Amino acid sequence: MNKLILVTGGTGYIGSHTVVELMNEGFDVVIIDNLSNSEKSVLDGIAEITGRRPYFEQFDICDKEKLDNFFRVYKKLDAIIHFAAFKAVGESIEKPLSYYQNNLVSLMNLLKGMNDYNVPYIVFSSSCTVYGEPDELPVTEQAPIKVANSPYGNTKQISEEIIKDTVDVNHNLKAIALRYFNPIGAHNSALIGELPVGVPDNLVPFITQTAIGIRDELKVFGNDYNTPDGSAIRDYINVVDLAKAHVVSVKRMLEDKCKSNVEFFNLGTGKGSSVLEIINAFEKATGEKLTYKIVDRRVGDVESVYADTKFANEELGWKAETGLEETLLSAWSWEKYIRNK
């Protein structure tokens, strides 16, 4: 019988790509999503790619009663991948309580459910935001956790602590926290991708929306950083590569290969790219000309951050493989697909 994996937030951006990779590897998947930041039609894209439809339950994981009921119905869950969370940094500063409520209560409900209904493994979506402005580059998993510069970032730090404290005393539970750098791109089929609501905060959706004419111009936030071209540097990772790391993590747990009850891995490419380099790579990959202008730095942005990937490469046995231009082209194909749908 196939192993059954619960994917919370499975109709969202990273979740949907992960569901595809899990199903391609022969896992059965049940998604819980309240559709607060995604659409049910994502399930059609998943079904078209994989030839199978995941189970889908629409409710809020913060609703403990509904979650308990779910665990009673889906008795034989082998593992959980927990993506469901609010993720907009700026919005979290405006609405801190909503972020603490949604991101922490959902996690605590799940951990309690795992204990009560005997689900032993959880993979958690963490973020490179826990490192803040790092002292040394590339960033290893041992780098100090800095004071968070937003309530969103703080929910990731607190979540990691909640997980650590919980698995420390519940020896039947194991966790892997994956610290993503900057996920970008879409599935090669262009049938699933990122669906930002309103004006995108993130660079690549803003670029593709500008190229297609929804936005007049891209604003490059700062060219006076201490970097070779003055614009800020990030580690942009292909979303399908990222999704595959979740499958590897689930298998690692199922095969009892974890070295401790909670493990942390950086998921990045190990290569930093500046904003101006991303613009050039996008233009080269797609043949589109991008309108942009340099403006002031964005408040709260760090100068440079990219991953030391040695631990993930060697211990997890996973490596990002897709090149930057191919990834940017996939983002562009997806943008064209959704606008012409």
Residues marked as catalytic: 152
Q: State the residues that interact with ligand NAD by CB under 6 A.
A: 9, 11-15, 32-38, 60-62, 83-85, 87, 102, 106, 125, 127, 180, 183
Q: Residue 217 Cβ, how far from ligand NAD at the closest point, in Å?
A: 23
Q: Is the dihedral of CA 42, 44, 49, 52 positive or negative?
A: positive
* Out of 28, 78, 301, 326, the residue judged to bind ligand WQD by CB under 6 A: 301
- Rounded (10°) angle between helices 106-117 and 64-73: 30
Longest dimension (CA), the chain: 57
Rounded least distance, CB 31 to ligand WQD, Å: 20
Nearest approach, Cβ of 128 to ligand WQD (angstroms)?
7
- Residue 78 binding ligand WQD, by CB under 6 A: no
Nearer to ligand WQD, 84 or 191 (CB): 84
**Beta-carbon-side half-sphere exposure of residue 152 (alpha carbons within 13 Å):** 19
Q: Does 203 participate in binding ligand WQD (rule CB under 6 A)?
A: yes
Per DSSP, the residues of 251-312 read HHHHTT--SSSEEEEEES-S--EEHHHHHHHHHHHH-PPPPEEEEPPPTT--SB--B--HHI
Q: Which tokens go with 200?
A: 């995108």
Question: What is the spatial distance between Cα 326 and Cα 314, in angstroms, rounded to a whole number?
Answer: 25
Q: Tell me whether residue 67 or residue 159 sits nearer to ligand WQD (CB atom).
A: 159
- Bridge partners of 127? 180
232 lines the binding site for ligand WQD (CB under 6 A):
yes
202 contacts ligand WQD (rule: CB under 6 A): yes
Of the two residues 13 and 27, which places its CB atom closer to ligand NAD in the complex?
13
| Nearer to ligand NAD (CB atom), residue 47 or residue 294 | 47
Q: How many residues bind ligand WQD (CB under 6 A)?
A: 18
Nearest residue (CB) to ligand WQD, 174 versus 234: 234
Residue 290 lies near ligand WQD (rule: CB under 6 A):
no
Residue 108 has phi, psi (to 5 degrees) of: -65, -40
* Binding of ligand WQD by 88 (CB under 6 A): no
179 binds ligand WQD (CB under 6 A): no
Q: In what order do the strands lie in the sheet with 79-82?
A: 55-57, 28-32, 4-8, 79-82, 121-127, 174-180, 262-267
- The H or E element that residue 4 is part of is strand 4-8
> Would you call 179 helix, strand, or coil by DSSP?
strand
Q: Choosing among ligand WQD, ligand NAD, none, which partner's interface includes residue 329 (Cβ < 5 to 8 Å by kind)?
A: none
Q: Which does 268 bind (CB under 5 to 8 A by kind): ligand WQD, ligand NAD, none?
A: none
Q: How far is CA 216 from CA 133, 169, 185, 207, 340, in A?
A: 31, 54, 21, 10, 19
CB-wise, 85 or 240, nearer to ligand NAD? Answer: 85
From the list ligand NAD, ligand WQD, none, which binds 9 (C-beta under 5 to 8 Å, kind-based)? ligand NAD
Instruction: Give the span between the Cα atoms of 30 and 23, in whole angstroms.
Output: 11
Rule CB under 6 A: say whether 85 interacts with ligand WQD.
no
Asked if 112 touches ligand WQD (CB under 6 A), the answer is: no
3-state secondary structure of 59: coil
User: Which residues ranging from 129 to 168 are in contact with ligand WQD (CB under 6 A)?
Assistant: 129
CB of 223 to ligand NAD, least distance (A): 23
Q: Applying CB under 6 A, does 187 fall inside the site for ligand WQD?
A: no
Instruction: Give contact residues for ligand WQD (rule: CB under 6 A).
Output: 87, 89, 127, 129, 182, 201-203, 206, 218-221, 232, 234, 275, 298, 301
